[in-house]
């Protein structure tokens, strides 16, 4: 192992990181956070990392983007080509190459409008895959590792092993696909794959859902050299029917190359000592924490129109989807509100869930605030101002909010799934080192019991509650450590893909 790392430091890797969203430029979820932080951490370790993403209409920093390539993607043997430009965005951190192809990305949203996915998403994201490889050759960037993320990039590993199988340029390039959420499989009819004729010609069975549909995620999992999930527990869930959303055979086939690497938390953005969004910054020491939490709670209550009372406050910030488990909370929320508590939920999404939450907030406006918005500043104020953060997720590949909560001395109450189980320590199991609460059963009742349990702790054992806050704030999920594990995946293990890269470089 030591020799491998030595060869690595002598030979920084060239890494192409492809993602459909990147925090700071375009974001709908946690994928964007990872796509900002992981490349930055790898760059800090001395590697040459470039990010590729679409040049969306709404992308931040559009005005300062510089065109570094104007070209066409030729699709042989089709009689057509797609013109595109590579726009380089702010280079202060990792260079970001944004693909400007207006027919695909010049739209108000990233994936969907009014909860309706764009009808040509299959073509839009097969373009992302195909153009990411096309631009490497044209810009002369010869990657050792092409790091793909979720279904949007799943055709890259397939193209490397088909279109580019004989290419000298990519002869040593290996691919990795990170699974952030296997529920989204990127399933499209063959009609949408006109840019990827190899798929149509080969009718590649491992990626077929049925005789007329191909899943881009399945293609990625089947063809990537390595596959990883965003937490060790999610990696093991992917081997099961329930946990993989029906893709267990695909992941079982790749079990030898399947890794689980927990995401890091970006403590430059999420740090109560430096957070510019919160009313009063605070440290982990008891006095500073108590004062800071109180000021932040008052400020949050003011912002969401709740009475400024000294009662325990429970929060949740999420997309309103089934994944986040709102259907477990809604049936017991009114029961829980019978207690002397306040609850704040911030998020947008499913109209049915939103209307149920709106109804409850109208009935209990003195105790429950539902803010139907997506707001990063408000998310910071919730993390800082509440005492408990609820994540009753149906499934949760990694989850980031529980990490943010821990950093702000806010105790997470989570269901024991995916990365939640890897990052929170349950008070009822191991009280001494506990950082929050975990429960298992996917039922509203099980959630309610845990909520009541946390309230008892808060009200009856305040010193114990404060001790848990200290434990929570001492937890660290540093990106540097996760990036080391990614590197080990690129470089480590007997069948390791970059074992080969390293050996090649040492030989060279």
What is the contact surface with ligand GLC in residues (CB under 6 A)?
29-31, 34, 180-181, 230, 263, 396-400
Question: Crossing angle of helices 121-139/216-223, nearest 10°?
Answer: 40
Expressed in angstroms, the distance from the first to the final Cα of the chain is 20
Judge if the upstream peptide bond of residue 77 is cis by omega within 30 degrees of 0: yes
- Kindly tell me which of 34 and 296 has the beta carbon lying closer to ligand GLC: 34
Closest approach of Cβ 319 to ligand GLC, in Å? Answer: 8
Cβ within 8 Å of residue 482, ≥6 positions away: 38, 41, 261, 262, 263, 264
Whether residue 273 contacts residue 284, with contact meaning beta carbons closer than 8 Å, is answered with no
Closest approach of Cβ 506 to ligand GLC, in Å? Answer: 33
Angle (nearest 5°) at CA 32 between 283 and 403 = 30
- Kindly tell me which of 14 and 180 has the beta carbon lying closer to ligand GLC: 180
- Kindly tell me which of 37 and 192 has the beta carbon lying closer to ligand GLC: 37
Hey, what are 492's tokens? 């480590």
Tell me if residue 386 falls in helix, strand or coil. coil
Given its phi and psi angles, is residue 245 left (phi above 0), alpha (psi -120 to 50 degrees) or beta? left
Residue among 298, 489, 476 at smallest CA distance from 403: 476
- Kindly tell me which of 82 and 230 has the beta carbon lying closer to ligand GLC: 230
Closest approach of Cβ 99 to ligand GLC, in Å? Answer: 22
- Kindly tell me which of 19 and 175 has the beta carbon lying closer to ligand GLC: 19
Closest approach of Cβ 377 to ligand GLC, in Å? Answer: 20
- Kindly tell me which of 237 and 488 has the beta carbon lying closer to ligand GLC: 237
Question: What are the respective helix, strand and coil percentages of the chain, to the nearest 5?
Answer: 45, 20, 35
- Kindly tell me which of 31 and 455 has the beta carbon lying closer to ligand GLC: 31
- Kindly tell me which of 153 and 192 has the beta carbon lying closer to ligand GLC: 153
Closest approach of Cβ 419 to ligand GLC, in Å? Answer: 6
Residue among 153, 146, 162, 105 at smallest CA distance from 129: 153
Closest approach of Cβ 36 to ligand GLC, in Å? Answer: 11
27 is in an annotated binding site: yes
As a whole number of angstroms, the distance between CA 233 and CA 399 comes to: 12
| Residue 139 burial (CB count, 10 A) | 15
Closest approach of Cβ 178 to ligand GLC, in Å? Answer: 8
Hey, what are 262's tokens? 């927990």
Hey, what are 228's tokens? 């990883």
- Kindly tell me which of 396 and 426 has the beta carbon lying closer to ligand GLC: 396
Tell me if residue 400 falls in helix, strand or coil. coil
Minimal CB distance residue for ligand GLC: 30
Whether residue 472 contacts residue 435, with contact meaning beta carbons closer than 8 Å, is answered with yes
Closest approach of Cβ 399 to ligand GLC, in Å? Answer: 5
* Dihedrals phi, psi of 391, to nearest 5 degrees: -135, 80
Cβ within 8 Å of residue 26, ≥6 positions away: 32, 53, 54, 56, 58, 59, 60, 110
Closest approach of Cβ 29 to ligand GLC, in Å? Answer: 4
Annotated binding-site residue numbers for ADP-alpha-D-glucose: 27
Annotated binding-site residue numbers: 27
């Amino acid at each position: 192992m030591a020799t491998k790392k030595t060869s690595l430091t002598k030979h920084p890797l060239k890494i192409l990181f492809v993602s459909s969203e990147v925090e700071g430029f375009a974001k709908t979820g946690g994928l964007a956070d990872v796509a900002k932080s992981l490349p930055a951490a790898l760059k800090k370790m001395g590697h040459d990392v470039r990010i590729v993403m679409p040049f969306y209409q709404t992308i931040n920093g559009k005005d300062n983007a510089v065109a570094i390539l104007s070209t066409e993607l030729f699709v042989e043997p089709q009689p057509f080509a797609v013109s595109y430009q590579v726009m380089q965005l702010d280079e202060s951190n990792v260079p970001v190459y944004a693909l400007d192809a207006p027919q695909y990305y010049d739209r108000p949203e990233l994936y969907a409008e009014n909860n309706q996915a764009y009808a040509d998403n299959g073509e839009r994201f097969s373009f992302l895959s195909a153009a990411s490889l096309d631009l490497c050759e044209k810009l002369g960037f010869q990657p050792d590792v092409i790091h793909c993320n979720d279904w949007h990039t799943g055709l890259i590993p397939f193209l490397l092993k088909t279109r580019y199988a004989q290419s000298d340029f990519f002869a040593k390039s290996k691919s990795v696909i990170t699974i952030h959420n296997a529920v989204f499989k990127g399933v499209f009819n063959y009609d949408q794959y006109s840019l990827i004729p190899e798929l149509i010609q080969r009718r590649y069975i491992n990626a077929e859902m049925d005789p007329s549909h191909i899943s881009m995620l399945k293609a990625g999992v089947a063809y990537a050299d390595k596959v990883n999930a965003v937490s060790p527990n999610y990696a093991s869930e992917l081997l099961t029917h329930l946990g993989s959303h029906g893709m267990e055979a695909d992941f079982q086939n790749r079990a030898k190359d399947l890794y689980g690497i927990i995401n890091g938390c970006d403590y430059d953005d999420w740090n109560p000592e430096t957070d510019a969004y919160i009313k009063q910054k605070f440290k982990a020491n008891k006095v500073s924490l108590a004062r800071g939490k109180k000021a932040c709670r008052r400020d949050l209550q003011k912002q969401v129109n709740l009475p400024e009372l000294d009662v325990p406050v429970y929060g949740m910030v999420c997309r309103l989807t089934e994944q986040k488990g709102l259907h477990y909370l809604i049936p017991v929320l009114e029961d829980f509100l019978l207690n002397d508590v306040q609850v704040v939920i911030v998020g947008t999404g499913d109209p049915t869930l939103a209307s149920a939450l709106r109804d409850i907030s109208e009935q209990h406006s003195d105790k429950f605030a539902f803010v139907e918005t997506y707001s990063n500043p408000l998310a910071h104020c919730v993390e800082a101002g509440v005492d408990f953060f609820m994540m009753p997720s149906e499934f949760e590949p990694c989850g980031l909010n529980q990490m943010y909560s821990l950093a702000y001395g806010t105790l997470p109450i989570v269901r024991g799934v995916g990365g939640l189980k890897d990052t929170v320590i349950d008070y009822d199991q191991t009280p001494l080192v506990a950082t929050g609460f975990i429960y298992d059963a996917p039922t509203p009742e099980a959630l309610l019991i845990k909520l009541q349990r946390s309230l008892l702790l808060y009200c009856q054992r305040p010193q114990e509650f404060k001790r848990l806050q200290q434990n929570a704030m001492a937890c660290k999920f540093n990106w540097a450590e996760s990036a080391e594990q990614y590197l080990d995946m690129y470089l480590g293990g007997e069948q390791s893909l970059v074992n080969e890269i390293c050996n090649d470089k040492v030989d060279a």
